[in-house]
């Protein structure tokens, strides 16, 4: 299997990105990775690789890349040789089975739609993040592909998320919930309310509305919301982790008695919080486009890139795109 990896996207590119490719190639003997970006920087980054690994890492050079603060649509149209764009074009041409980028989210979404196109019937794509909770993995969709949604978008996120969880992550009969500002039917605005009515008729295990408090409790396998809300939520979790950790450290310096407890406890807490940390999962599939596109977190280091490559690999192995296409056909959308 050949995957194209945008070597220039993310806060730690290209060093950590290349390292991640090396880690993944050392794990999966059938995997080949095309690193797209500045050739000389990439060469330097991978120069320590074992021959067993390096023979499966290919470099495609380009000088252009899209920065985090660029307007995705403008940059994507202007920079025909941007690393992220070239990686997507490899998927389109069949030179790669999937692509991964830790760069500009907007560019990944806009590019996915422009280069690969949408699956017939899909109105807008959705980014679905699998959040590892104590009792299950919950897919939160969308987390930033489609900022404001129409009812049909929320409906399609639900259907695509259900198919992804059932087939790629192996959840039998996933429970699908719609995020709202209350559990009662009278809650939600017209968009959420209309999506609810549509989902109630769909051939899935639809649980109706859930509230924000239900997400961490792991009540559903798929939680559907617009990209604005999902993005705010996901980043909020990140911030709580940072804030809580800082708070605990400050506390430790001020207290004497529980210090002994703290020393035992901090590593455990770190591990526990890690379960909430979506970076560990490493990759978010862009569902609804005609090809495998995985968005990795902007702060991704090698470990996260390795995970993102695994997500892409699983998506290819399970024929994720075909399953969504078939699922939509069957669903009579």
Which positions lie near a copy of itself, rule CB under 8 A? 68-72, 105-106, 133-134, 144, 147-148, 179-182, 184, 186, 188-189, 191-192, 211-218, 225, 227-229, 231-240, 242-244, 246-248, 250-251, 255, 257-258, 260-265, 268-269, 272, 275-276
Nearest approach, Cβ of residue 330 and a copy of itself (Å): 32
Query: Which residue, 243 or 317, is less far from a copy of itself as judged by CB?
Result: 243
Q: How much is the CA Rg of the chain, to the nearest whole Å?
A: 20
Evaluate the omega torsion of the peptide bond into residue 245 and state whether it is cis, within 30 degrees of 0: no
Nearest approach, Cβ of residue 81 and a copy of itself (Å): 22
Query: Which residue, 69 or 93, is less far from a copy of itself as judged by CB?
Result: 69
Query: Which residue, 120 or 182, is less far from a copy of itself as judged by CB?
Result: 182
Nearest approach, Cβ of residue 211 and a copy of itself (Å): 5
Please identify which residue in the block is written with the tokens 């859930």.
Answer: 210
Nearest approach, Cβ of residue 257 and a copy of itself (Å): 7
Evaluate the omega torsion of the peptide bond into residue 260 and state whether it is cis, within 30 degrees of 0: no
Query: Which residue, 269 or 317, is less far from a copy of itself as judged by CB?
Result: 269
Nearest approach, Cβ of residue 100 and a copy of itself (Å): 20
Query: Which residue, 94 or 239, is less far from a copy of itself as judged by CB?
Result: 239
Which is nearest to 109 in space by CA: 75, 78, 132? 75
Token pair listed for 27: 């794990």
Contacts of 156 (CB under 8 A, 6+ apart): 122, 123, 124, 126, 288, 328, 333
> CA–CA separation, 102 vs 121, rounded Å?
28
Token pair listed for 80: 């025909």
Nearest approach, Cβ of residue 17 and a copy of itself (Å): 21
Nearest approach, Cβ of residue 4 and a copy of itself (Å): 25
Query: Which residue, 200 or 240, is less far from a copy of itself as judged by CB?
Result: 240
Which is nearest to 174 in space by CA: 144, 213, 130? 130
Query: Which residue, 104 or 168, is less far from a copy of itself as judged by CB?
Result: 104
Nearest approach, Cβ of residue 262 and a copy of itself (Å): 6
By the 8 A CB rule, do 158 and 206 touch?
yes
Query: Which residue, 107 or 311, is less far from a copy of itself as judged by CB?
Result: 107
């Amino acid at each position: 299997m050949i995957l194209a990896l945008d070597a220039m996207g993310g806060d730690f590119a290209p060093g950590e990105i290349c390292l991640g490719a090396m880690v993944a190639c050392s794990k999966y003997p059938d995997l080949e990775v095309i690193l797209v970006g500045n050739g000389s920087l990439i060469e330097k980054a991978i120069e320590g690789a074992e021959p067993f690994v390096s023979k499966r890492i290919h470099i495609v050079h380009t000088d252009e890349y899209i920065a985090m603060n660029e307007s995705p649509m403008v940059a994507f149209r202007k920079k025909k040789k941007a690393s992220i764009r070239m990686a997507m074009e490899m998927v389109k041409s069949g030179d790669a089975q999937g692509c991964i980028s830790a760069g500009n989210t907007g560019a990944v979404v806009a590019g996915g739609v422009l280069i690969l196109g949408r699956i017939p019937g899909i109105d807008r794509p959705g980014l679905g993040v699998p959040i590892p909770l104590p009792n299950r993995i919950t897919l939160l969709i969308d987390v930033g592909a489609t900022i404001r949604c129409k009812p049909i978008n929320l409906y399609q996120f639900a259907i695509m998320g259900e198919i992804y969880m059932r087939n790629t992550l192996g959840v039998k009969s996933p429970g699908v919930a719609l995020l709202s500002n209350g559990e009662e039917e009278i809650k939600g605005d017209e968009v959420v309310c209309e999506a609810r009515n549509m989902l109630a008729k769909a051939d899935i295990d639809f649980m109706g509305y859930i509230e924000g408090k239900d997400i961490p409790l792991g009540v559903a396998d798929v939680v559907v919301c617009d990209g604005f809300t999902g993005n705010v939520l996901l980043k909020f979790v990140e911030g709580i982790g940072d804030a809580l950790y800082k708070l605990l450290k400050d506390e430790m310096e001020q207290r004497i008695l529980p210090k002994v407890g703290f020393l035992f406890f901090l590593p455990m807490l770190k591990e526990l919080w890690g379960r909430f940390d979506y970076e560990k999962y490493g990759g978010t599939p862009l569902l609804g486009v005609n090809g495998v596109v995985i968005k990795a977190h902007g702060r991704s280091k090698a470990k996260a890139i390795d995970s993102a490559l695994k997500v892409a690999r699983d998506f290819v192995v399970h024929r994720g795109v075909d399953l969504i296409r078939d699922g939509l056909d069957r669903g009579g959308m």
